[in-house]
A and B are shown apart, each in its own frame.
Chain A
Amino acid sequence: DIQMTQSPSSLSASVGDRVTITCQASQNISNYLNWYQQKPGEAPKLLIHDASNLETGVPSRFGGRGSGTDFAFTIRSLQPEDIGTYYCHQYNNLPPTFGQGTRLEIK
């Protein structure tokens, strides 16, 4: 199975800050990497697909980059509604696997 190592596991930042989360795959997954946001008590929501493509309707302050084994997810200007847990997810190989999550809080 492909292991997804996500960091940090938790993050506290101020409104307006630039926030970056990284995800490293244990083997090459090309660009088959997505980012999901999960707010407390809710289902995950797809934000970024194929490493860098913003899902329709997702604010442009969210972005992603990377290919191969190293990926990054960025929020350009953190907003209060961005609190939650963020997961990277690879679907290059079965079984699909997720990073362990990054809990994002507002300072």
Chain B
Amino acid sequence: QVQLVEAGGGVVQPGGSLRLSCAASGFTFSYYGMHWVRQAPGKGLEWVAFIRYDESNKYYADSVRGRFTISRDNSKNTLYLQMNSLRVEDTAVYYCAKISGPGRDYYYMDVWGKGTTVTVSS
């Protein structure tokens, strides 16, 4: 079955960097666009970034543009989120999610991973 497993979270000081990964299995990863969505403690869901299946288009939330970079390695079935210049307000559980429908430029999330926790604190 479709499975997404995030990793790479941890505790980092403000201004620091982290690289999250999302290992995909159970579907043809290279056919599907992927999202990152985050959830601050006790808060709602906030979309972070999207990457098209072939990496030709990438979109970012205003709150992370210029600091975060989404990428993927289709040969490794893995999605990444490079997070630089981290701020306290980036503290959240970060989820990766696949879109419903292969070959689309942008679409909604249907399956989500369990998430990885990022804490930005001095």
Residues of A at under 8 Å CB distance from B? 32, 34, 36, 38, 42-46, 49, 55, 87, 89, 91, 94-101
Known contacts A42-B114, A45-B112, A87 near B45 by CB under 8 Å: yes
Residues of B at under 8 Å CB distance from A? 35, 44-47, 50, 59, 61-62, 95, 100, 106-115
8 contacts between A and B (CB under 8 A): A46-B109, A46-B111, A91-B106, A96-B35, A96-B47, A96-B50, A98-B47, A101-B44
Q: Is the interface of A mostly helix, strand, loop or mixed?
A: loop
Beta-carbon contact of A43 and B47 below 8 Å: no
Give the docked Cα–Cα distance between A9 and B114 (Å).
24
Beta-carbon contact of A100 and B44 below 8 Å: yes
B3 → chain A closest CB, angstroms:
12
Q: Which 8 A-B pairs have the closest CB atoms?
A: A43-B112, A91-B108, A98-B45, A96-B47, A101-B44, A46-B110, A100-B44, A43-B114
**Which residues of chain A come closer than 8 Å to B47, judged between CB atoms?**
95-98
**Which residues of chain B come closer than 8 Å to A34, judged between CB atoms?**
108
Known contacts A43-B112, A44-B95, A94 near B106 by CB under 8 Å: yes
Chain A residue nearest to B107 in the complex (CB): A91
Give the docked Cα–Cα distance between A87 and B108 (Å).
14
Q: Which of B59, B95, B100, B108 has the most CB of A within 10 A?
A: B108
Beta-carbon contact of B95 and A43 below 8 Å: yes
Give the docked Cα–Cα distance between A87 and B111 (Å).
15
Beta-carbon contact of B107 and A44 below 8 Å: no
